[in-house]
Amino acid sequence: MVFDKIAFLRKHLQYEEDHMEYEPKELQEMTAAAKEVFKEEKMLIRIKAPIKIFGDIHGQYRDMHQIFATAGRPDKTHYLFLGDYVDRGPHQLETICCLLAWKICYPYQFHMLRGNHETRNINRNYGFWDDLHQRFEVNEAIMLWNEFNALFDWMPVAALINNQILCMHGGVGPTLNSLDQITQIHRPLSDISKYPVAQDLLWADPCLGLSGFTRNTLRGVSYFFGEDVVNDVCKKLNLKLIVRAHQMMPNGHGFFCRRKLVTIFSAPNYYFPDQINMAAIMTLQANLAAGFTLFNPTKNFEEGENEFRQLFNENASTGWGYASRKNLKEPSAMDASTSMTRTC
């Protein structure tokens, strides 16, 4: 049976539905089709503006559809997603299936990077496996979990927009000296730790008040990096901006290093019931002028806009979005209720 990609996409365009019924064979065919699409791409994809950029989604299917309703459907707009599609949220399978359906149908205008949750050791423990296990027989769940992760092994880990803006899920590490290092990462990449450059692209975090690098004690993997590192990387790689996700921002986005780095987070009211956050997407015009659209959590599927446009030269609050140097030696002081770096 040939996978019907159009029919699979259409079933995800019924906005009133937030729970889908899937057949294991259907998902197996879909992941196989998506894998072939990703195999045609490099680990560093080169794309052109104009484009809209999403941060973490984490299974928040309703919120994702509300953002599409406001920002434009992916068949009419170019999109780049920075990873973390699964784990945490209430509709993880629907979210990843919807995004992969768009990718299969529109591979040249819908772009998806790998996040740290698109790895086996993370999505086995933070929700995706549980979602599959609850919905399918054990042998089917195991098969599908393996199929999805085999697909994730082929996803690119970075994107370069107009040769000037480097995008990834996490950040940069001490071993990144050229863009060729990213392109040369071998796929399928099942063990991220074998490639420190890839591991840092998925895991690293900026840190206020830090000079250089220090071990990321809050995550237990990769590094924190300071503003001097951002300046050095931008100079070395001839970049104007670094765009990443991986950390919750109270306003959906936050600047670092005098606006040479920006963090985008696209899951509103993410995970912490006592800390309200907005979602944001970033819009890059053809001339690389940038703006941000902010979203409150979705209450229904009405397609009314809830939009707050921010100019690029306006700074956003980073009060509890980034780790700071003074807290690095006291991880117990940044528990799960206050630390963004440990949970995204």
**Enzyme catalytic residues:** 117
Residue with tokens 């998925």: 202
Distance CA 109, CA 75 (A): 8
SS3 227: helix
Dig out the tokens for 167 from the structure: 């995008």
SS3 192: helix
- One-letter amino acid at 107 equals P
Q: In a 10 Å sphere around its CB, with 0-12 CB exposed, 13-18 middle and 19+ buried, how is residue 183 labelled? A: middle
Give the helix, strand, coil percentages of the chain, each rounded to 5. Answer: 30, 20, 50
Rg (CA), the chain: 19
Distance CA 130, CA 124 (A): 8
For 16, the enclosing helix (H) or strand (E) is none
CB distance 140 to 24 below 8 Å: yes
Q: What is the DSSP string of 91-134?
A: -HHHHHHHHHHHHHH-TTTEEE---TTSSHHHHTTSSHHHHHHH
Distance CA 144, CA 148 (A): 6
